[in-house]
Amino acid sequence: MLKKLILFSKELPLGFKLLNLCILLPVLIWPFILFSSIFIFDNPENFALAFLLFLVIIAYPLYLLIIAELNARFYFKNKYLSLILPISIIGLIISGIIYIATSMISAIEANKNEEKKRIQYGWLGDCDTYRKKNNKVYFNDTLVNGIDAKTVHYLDCFYIIDAKQVYNGKEVILGSDPSTFEILDWEWQKDKTQCYFQGKPMPNIDVKSFILLENNYSKDNKSVYYYDKLVVGADPKTFVVDDLTYLGKDKYNRYKDGEKILKTKK
Q: Mean of the pLDDT values across residues 108-128? A: 90
pLDDT one-digit tens code per residue, 130-149: 999 999 999 999 999 999 99
What pLDDT does 110 receive?
92
Question: Sign of dihedral through CA atoms 68, 70, 74, 80?
Answer: negative
**130 vs 18: CA distance, rounded Å:** 59
Q: Has residue 266 got a pLDDT over 50?
A: no
What pLDDT, in 10s, does the model give residues 10-30? 889 999 999 999 999 999 999
The residues facing 133 across adjacent strands are: 136
Number of neighbours of residue 72 by Cβ within 10 angstroms = 22
Question: Across-strand partners of 190?
Answer: 182, 195
- Mean pLDDT throughout 49-56? 92
The structure's pTM equals 0.62
Query: What mean pLDDT do residues 63-86 have?
Result: 92
Cα–Cα distance between 159 and 143 in angstroms, integer? Answer: 14
pLDDT of residue 201: 95
Q: Where are the domains of the chain?
A: 2-120, 204-266
